Structure 1
């Protein structure tokens, strides 16, 4: 990574951060300001070193309160969950509580959801098998006592039938779960979460280490029903009805969970519509598949509501939160689990040394205070600044249609897609596009020439991300406009020297 940064000419060391600005030192030791539109990959919804958040962290550390006191009463965790449940009730209109499992990163919060969903599925399977075992034994005793007959007549051995049913069920029960995710998804790079990440470059090298995933076409959520039919499995049960023993099928819980982002971050800032969300929710409810909504990048107020899923009416069984939850100061993550699905026993089989530490909880409570202050002024501010930035980017698409393709996203989670330059006349631009480096080349130019920092999305490298804090100013927006107009003009002129420097002499 260091070699790549050096190659692009962006291997600078930032020495200070404030709001939407980072600073590095030039050769004379003077601070050089850089406007940060990357925003910690969405983690800095409150900007760098928000004064109230910093003051809270400093106050906690000076207080002498323990940062780590595992296996003790931790009322601050309860206060965080209470605040989040208030937000859930307000945004989704539900009274059902959500329980929480704290962790340390977004990928880990996804792993928690993955583990809990499988734990829930296994307990469901165990209960189903126990119920069938009772039915089978009751049927066996009824046949032996003469109170019931078997479906194929009196000459059939009831023990042989029971053995066949038990053996068939053992094979089905040993099946691993089927997991679902949307094409274009990004849910992390840990052993389980990387299998939910659609980009094959991240996923394939580790495919043998975790349960496999079936990816649903992003714009075809109706495909879930087809997948359900293809993956359907049944357990056999013996039922007593009017003196007869009948073999009946019971649906086996095949699906572990469906994971989705309502605004795909690394997949190119693509939004799920309300109609798509309804189709997904209905299809998953029909097959008993819990829905996990990954709000790691889109949540925390960035899109104009705390949960980006609330405006489209998608209430999840699990929410994964991280990034902005730590206010740019601590590494905090949380998995919210719907009350009807929560398994209290999970607390005894999952734990984390650094999760739910005192410092992180204090910071998270302050972050929630800031976001919720003045009736949610932060959310309104994110929506207003986001609308302004969206209008600017759309005006650029209209002005430079030969260079820019479209703007996507909502609030302060926006993506600007450039047109494919794989057939550009300028050879170095063409080579960069074919090597999937075009977005990095443009972002490097923005930093060098205009002191603006952003990056392409990981799995859609022609799309630049713009995720500043809610404190984005008119001056910072104007600076971005000037910089992007310069980029578009130079790309339109095929001015590759601006991006790469003079061509080497031969």
Structure 2
């Protein structure tokens, strides 16, 4: 029920009233009474159900469709059996089974020989937040070990100089402004080196991520979301990110060089003291989506991915692959990153992992990177519950059945849907700028319509609302449900389930052709929007 309808009934709208008003203004204030397969159902004025083709797909959460019968039946069976949902701080064999299943699939697909440990969470943003926290804990422990090693070197040099078995060259003292060699001068030198090191070690961590990224809206993850409108109000709350351009080779290395921090140590060599330099870990991690979802359905290039992996290997920073929207088979592979040659140190998965019913996500961490201590400082009341883990196991069973038939279906349907979108673009080149994506995560980008011949369309485009105007028309005029991507509002997303039919694709084509005809001013009927 919208804000207006509540007000007319004398009932205040207290659940996100501002958002409700925004939905109403775009004609997206729909209420759905049932969901099945690739469709949602509204109640018509005559009381009968009206089907809406769902191309939003729960923002990618519904690869297997709404209320998949096998998952729904299994969920009912679990609840009726009294499965313990809340049994925190105890053994969870179903979580261990799910972790093994995920590890096996990821290693099979990537060819990796190392196991991946699992940290479970509830949402994609929470899994990404856990990844940031784990990466920072790892960075802090590596930095602490480096500082301890440097301090041990100071102690060894001090002892060697005092017992006369080593000397410090004058140039070492001179480099740090210490004039006279001797025991007191050595203490002064070590003091200055230690102060420098503490200053450098105290620099805040920096996360790297591509321009256009979206990794959630929690306190930490929102700082890795490129859209400044989401990020700026909370800038002071968390570690900052540097955004790397997608199409400028060499920029990543330049950014890393700007962030370098050097610690100085002293080492003994043949009775002489030498200055040593050690790079402190400032870059905490590189976090990326192989196909940017909210950034406009943009796939990273294999060349950019290789540069990321090379640079991160040089500085010892982990690569965190956010597969929350693109993973779980949506592209035709379990991981969208596989075909890019991308091998992550961390992976995050969510959305379709819960089969459209359970709220579950997971962080997978490479064994050589994993810090077991993290398990004692990070937890969640609703993570790793008996119900969600079992549902996720059922989802993996369905995806893996018949040799991965679900993956092949996603690829096949994606090719057909992409071909249809491409045909629309060819026929309306002045309206549609680009069509892109892979499998069942596709985007259709419109040209800037701020100069469109239809005044209402031009005005919406200038206000940054064109994509929502189109989405409202598709819903009201054609019973097609989709939305613009969050940080690229000129791009419509198409993330249906593998239950998508030929009729669904044909229905969308008719709707898009009608919309494009209106936008270019060649059709008399206006966009179907709410009155007023």
Measured against the shorter chain, the TM-score band is over 0.9
Native 8 Å contact 2:284 2:318 kept in 1:
yes
Matches within 5 A, 1:389-408: 389-408=417-436
Native 8 Å contact 2:477 2:528 kept in 1:
no
Cross-structure match for 2:294 = 266
Cross-structure match for 2:236 = 208
Residue 439 (1) aligns with residue 439 (2): no
> For 1:19-61, what per-residue CA distance to the aligned partner results, in whole angstroms no more than 9, with x for missing partners?
1000011122111100000000011111100011111111110
Q: Tell me, which stretches of 5 or more residues in structure 1 are unaligned?
A: none
Residue 101 (1) aligns with residue 104 (2): no
> For 1:398-447, what per-residue CA distance to the aligned partner results, in whole angstroms no more than 9, with x for missing partners?
11111111101000000001111111222211110011100111111111
Cross-structure match for 2:222 = 194
Residue 448 (1) aligns with residue 464 (2): no
TM-score normalised by length of structure 2: 0.93
Native 8 Å contact 1:104 1:333 kept in 2:
yes
Cross-structure match for 1:424 = 452
Cross-structure match for 2:10 = none
Matching residue within 126, 143, 149 for 2:161: 143
Cross-structure match for 1:11 = 29
Matching residue within 119, 130, 134 for 2:137: 119
TM-score normalised by length of structure 1: 0.97
Matching residue within 165, 168, 180 for 2:193: 165
> For 1:441-500, what per-residue CA distance to the aligned partner results, in whole angstroms no more than 9, with x for missing partners?
111111111111000001111111000001111111111111111111111226586126
Matching residue within 237, 257, 261 for 2:265: 237
Q: Tell me, which stretches of 5 or more residues in structure 2 are unaligned?
A: 1-18, 171-179
Distance 1:496 1:111, change over 3 A: farther
2:314 and 2:162 map into 1 onto residues whose CA distance is 39
Give the 3-state SS of the residue equivalent to 2:294 in structure 1: coil
1:51 and 1:291 map into 2 onto residues whose CA distance is 37
> For 1:226-259, what per-residue CA distance to the aligned partner results, in whole angstroms no more than 9, with x for missing partners?
1111111111111001111122211111110011
2:359 and 2:292 map into 1 onto residues whose CA distance is 22
1:188 and 1:300 map into 2 onto residues whose CA distance is 18
Deviation at 1:264, TM superposition (A): 0.3
Cross-structure match for 1:358 = 386
1:287 and 1:86 map into 2 onto residues whose CA distance is 29
Deviation at 1:503, TM superposition (A): 10
1:267 and 1:222 map into 2 onto residues whose CA distance is 22
Deviation at 1:303, TM superposition (A): 0.1
1:96 and 1:137 map into 2 onto residues whose CA distance is 38
Give the 3-state SS of the residue equivalent to 1:146 in structure 2: coil
Deviation at 1:162, TM superposition (A): 1.5
Q: CA RMSD in A?
A: 1.4
Cross-structure match for 2:68 = 50
Deviation at 1:158, TM superposition (A): 1.6
Matches within 5 A, 1:54-65: 54-65=72-83
Distance 1:221 1:198, change over 3 A: farther
Native 8 Å contact 1:497 1:503 kept in 2:
no
2:442 and 2:297 map into 1 onto residues whose CA distance is 6
Deviation at 1:382, TM superposition (A): 0.2
